[in-house]
Every structure is written in structure tokens, then in C-alpha cells.
Structure 1
């Protein structure tokens, strides 16, 4: 069962979310290193989007493997304090949220959890817009000496060439930021999140409407218009292993072999990058029939990252 999370950050604001912290694994791991998997949700959904129901949740694998998981609400979602209005900042919506994650949220999570959970490093997992936020945070971490230990990055439902048509209905003729809240209709949400093919997902995943939230035009504008202009500047500075996955039925991105290669090769400082276009998978991999297999791969990757990171730290001390 997920436990509610609320942490006070260094600037006095609050980050909320959910945690899966049971550590009584049913398997014995080969390495003593324990990753803390931190989840960053996408747009128009909150932290519960990683725990929709028994079939679509990080919880079973977290408990089985003994890998702690924390799912955060980004600023403006759930009870997390919204970021103050941007005045003179030249940073975009996603860039500001990435800086918040790097400078405030991850240090607080690490301080709170590293000792009590015996975690040895963080593996960051961002979905869709959350993947953009995670990319910015990981890039900033690569440029500095962060107060937290980052060993891996998982990205899903993200790319370098967005298809602006699906979300244009919420803006009219021209994309522009007005500060308005965007309410995504449930039917439209299901179509875009799960793709056009009913065979790819169990429609029951949408029955509870769990995890659904409103979003802002600034968020949608950024991921559709601004993101392509700056994402690679952060990707090139990421120094941890990267697992990048996107579904071939994703309707929010232009996807082909060239875009997949372009995205993957941007991580020039990463020691290992896997870039894969998954077959018969919609935008929200976590909502699809392939959720279980995908999450098992994510947790396996997290264990690999934590073990490699711990070994390298020991070698560096010698």
C-alpha cells in the first residue's frame, strides 16, 4: 500500500507524493547496493499515475525486489507548492521544474531517505513531461556536484519532435501562454494516453480516473514548442546510464528510426544509453498490457545502476 509523502523543502515550500518503502525482499540481491527509484509524472496526471490499480503499479515489484520507490507530485500538482510566477526568468516551465527537482526536491528526498532506507543512490524515472523535467535535473546534476547521488535515468513517452496537432485544440489557432488551467476531457485523455488501438491496453485502467489532474497551458506549450530547442543542451551533460523507451503507437510524438537515434545520441557524456521503440505500445506504457514487463525492466535497470555506481565509488576511493 502506498503511503502519503510530504516533505518540507529548504525554501520552506512543500513537496508531496506517495512512497513504497517496504524492504523485505523475496529475493536475495547479488549486490548490497539499493537504488531509490524516484518517479516524476507526466502532464495532466499526478503521482498516482504510477499506481493505478493492481495490474498497473510499481508497488508489486517494489515489494518483491525490496527496492524503495517515491513518486513525487511536481509543483502545482497534488499538494506540492506551485512555483512562483516567472518574472525575469528566461527559463521555460520544464526548465524551472527541473531546477526545482535538482536543487530542492531531490536533495530533500535524499536527506530524508538515504539513511532510513539504506539507499545507496537515486535512479530517476520521468514519464512524458516528467521525463523532460528529469532530463533537465539530470543535466544540471551532471554539471555540478549534487548533494544527492544519482546513478541512473529512465525516460519514457518522450522524444525530440512533438506532434503539436493533438493538443492544439486547447489553444486555438496559435499556441500561446496565457496562464490558464487546461482541463483535459476524460475521453480525449484516454485516446491520447493509450493510443488509437484498443488492443494495446485494458480500458479498465481508466475506469477509476485515478491519477488524473488538470494541467496548465505553460506546460503544454513548453513540451510542444520550446522543448525541442533546448533539451539536447541538458542531455549532453548527463553522466549516468540512460534507459529510454517510447511506444510505436505514441500519438504525441513524431517517431521513426531517425528520431530515436537523434534522441539517444544526444547523451554524449553518458557511459551507456539504450534507446528503443517498443512495438504495440501507446504513449502511456504504464497503462498498457506491456506495463508489467516494462516495469520489471526498469527495476532491473535500477539495480544495475545502483550496483555499478557503488562499485565505481569504491574504486574511486582507492
Structure 2
């Protein structure tokens, strides 16, 4: 069963989707799915590519949240560290949100993509007032190409900007043949305007904060990057370097995904990738959650 929600928590509104199995499996953590920039929570629920559907079949409860400024979630005041501010807002709201959705006290595994991956890692480093079991991220790294920051710097100085679909398709996907025939068109249903400060933060300040963030994460980490990633500088060695940043984590599983671009979920490698994330989360059921 899936349902949309809009709830007030920590003084602001949050919207999203709740997906629940019939009963579910005892001990499994709640999955909190955090979308990237230019997509809303429907990123995780495109028909035929839905993490929500796959997770429910595994017995998970899933909350796909609209980050501030997406869906019906209240936008945050503009700030150069908007990724940090997203994580702080979610950290403050999560206890009330989970309680309102009937999931209070359940361990949480964060799943974040792209800018949502940066938010998820920052949130994992904060983690106050709710139990964190693990974090799985993709489409986020340690260094972006210099031309990305240059392109964002040339955009109009306004809160929201919109990237044209054809432009997004060029950077979100790998080469033709790496994704099924319904893509990239099917992904356009989740396209949304993005706060410009998210883009300038991910190509600047967040990379400077990354090492400090990673060092404060004390739960298992799952990390994947697509072989044909175009928004981050990527190689097997860079993936290993990224994994080494998590000095306090008891377990880091980091790999490059062959044949996939930035949005791994939407490629032919997507089903196996999602199964790996869910298997990681399922194995957390016996792990001690960080309070």
C-alpha cells in the first residue's frame, strides 16, 4: 500500500510517500529515501523502476520524503550551505514524522541519491533523537568537474532554477544501451525545479565539509557510483578513496557499478543495484542502531 502525505513537523510542512507491506518483516529498519536535486520523491517510484515497490516486496516500510522546497515541503531560507540546512531540518523533524506515520522508535536506514546522498550523509552525521541503523548512498562523490561549478555560477540569481529535460538526460544517463527503452522519458515524471543554492553547494562547500561529515558517521555505509557518472569525477580508485573517509564506520561497502550512469536506478543495472541496497538494509536488522 502506498499513500501520499503532508505533515507538519518542527515548524514546517513535509510531504512524501509512505509505502507499507502487509505486515512486514519484524526487525527490518524503516527506509527513509532522500531524492536528489531536480527530482522529487517520485524519483523512487517511477513505474517499472520503483524502489518503493521492490522494498515493499522485501517487507520494508519506506518513507520517500520530499526535501524542503519539493512537493508540498516548505522551502528553507536561501543559504550557501543549503545541503547542511536540509539535513538539519530533517534531523529536527524525523521523530515527529516517524511518530505521525506510525513508525516511532523503529531503526532507520537512510537511502540517498545525488544531492540527496549528500543530505543523507550529513543527516547520518547529525542523527539526534531517532535511531539510525545504516546509510546507503549513490550518485555522490568527493569532486565534481570544474565546468559544473562554472555552469551553475552563470545561472540567474534566483531561488529556483529549472534544468531542461534534454540537458538533464545527457548528464543523468549513461550511453545508449545502458538503460531500458522507456528511459529517460519515464523519469521526466519526477522532474522538478531545484534550489540553485543546492547546485552551488554540492559543487563547492559540501565537498569541503565531506571529510568531517564522513568521520562522524558511526553506522555501516553502502556506496555506489555508476561507471558512466558524468556529474562526479569517478574511477575505481576514487571510490576506494571515498570509502576511506568513513573512519568511524564499522563497515563500508563501496563499488563502481558497471554500465550505469548517474541515476543508477533507471539503468539496466538498476534492479540488481536496488537489491544490493535492500540486502544491505536487511542485514542491519541485527545491528545496534546509533541513538
* TM bracket (short chain): over 0.9
The equivalent residue for 1:186 is 165
| Residues 159-238 of structure 1 aligned to structure 2 (within 5 Å) | 159-166=141-148, 168-172=150-154, 178-195=157-174, 197-208=175-186, 209-238=188-217
| Residues 261-276 of structure 1 aligned to structure 2 (within 5 Å) | 261-276=240-255
**Distance (whole Å) between structure 2 residues aligned to residue 289 and residue 233 of structure 1:** 34
The equivalent residue for 1:151 is 133
The equivalent residue for 1:316 is none
The equivalent residue for 1:126 is 112
| Residues 32-47 of structure 1 aligned to structure 2 (within 5 Å) | 32-47=26-41
The equivalent residue for 2:86 is 97
Q: CA deviation at 1:261?
A: 1.9
Q: CA deviation at 1:63?
A: 2.7
- Please say if residues 219 and 249 of structure 2, whose CA atoms lie closer than 8 Å, have aligned partners that are also in contact: yes
Q: Is structure 2 residue 67 aligned with structure 1 residue 78? A: no
Q: CA deviation at 1:244?
A: 0.4
**Distance (whole Å) between structure 2 residues aligned to residue 97 and residue 194 of structure 1:** 26
Q: CA deviation at 1:5?
A: 1.6
The equivalent residue for 1:255 is 234
**Distance (whole Å) between structure 2 residues aligned to residue 118 and residue 108 of structure 1:** 8
Structure 1 stretches lacking a partner, 5+ long:
314-318
**Distance (whole Å) between structure 2 residues aligned to residue 120 and residue 304 of structure 1:** 15
SS at match of 1:200: coil
**Distance (whole Å) between structure 2 residues aligned to residue 119 and residue 163 of structure 1:** 41
**Distance (whole Å) between structure 1 residues aligned to residue 97 and residue 283 of structure 2:** 21
- Please say if residues 120 and 306 of structure 1, whose CA atoms lie closer than 8 Å, have aligned partners that are also in contact: no
Scaled by the length of structure 2, what TM-score is found? 0.92
Q: Is structure 2 residue 281 aligned with structure 1 residue 302? A: yes
The structure whose Rg is larger is: 1
Q: CA deviation at 1:24?
A: 4.2
- Please say if residues 180 and 217 of structure 1, whose CA atoms lie closer than 8 Å, have aligned partners that are also in contact: yes
The equivalent residue for 2:6 is 6
Q: CA deviation at 1:278?
A: 1.1
Q: 1:83 to 1:180 in 2, by over 3 A?
A: closer
The equivalent residue for 2:97 is 109
SS at match of 1:17: strand
**Distance (whole Å) between structure 2 residues aligned to residue 98 and residue 213 of structure 1:** 20
**Distance (whole Å) between structure 1 residues aligned to residue 10 and residue 164 of structure 2:** 36
SS at match of 1:70: strand
**Distance (whole Å) between structure 2 residues aligned to residue 15 and residue 224 of structure 1:** 26
- Please say if residues 148 and 203 of structure 2, whose CA atoms lie closer than 8 Å, have aligned partners that are also in contact: no
Scaled by the length of structure 1, what TM-score is found? 0.85
- Please say if residues 129 and 158 of structure 1, whose CA atoms lie closer than 8 Å, have aligned partners that are also in contact: yes
Indicate the larger mover: 259-268 or 163-172. 163-172
**Distance (whole Å) between structure 2 residues aligned to residue 179 and residue 292 of structure 1:** 37
User: How many residue pairs are counted as aligned between the two chains?
Assistant: 290
Q: CA deviation at 1:170?
A: 4.5
Q: CA deviation at 1:308?
A: 1.9
Q: 1:39 to 1:214 in 2, by over 3 A?
A: same
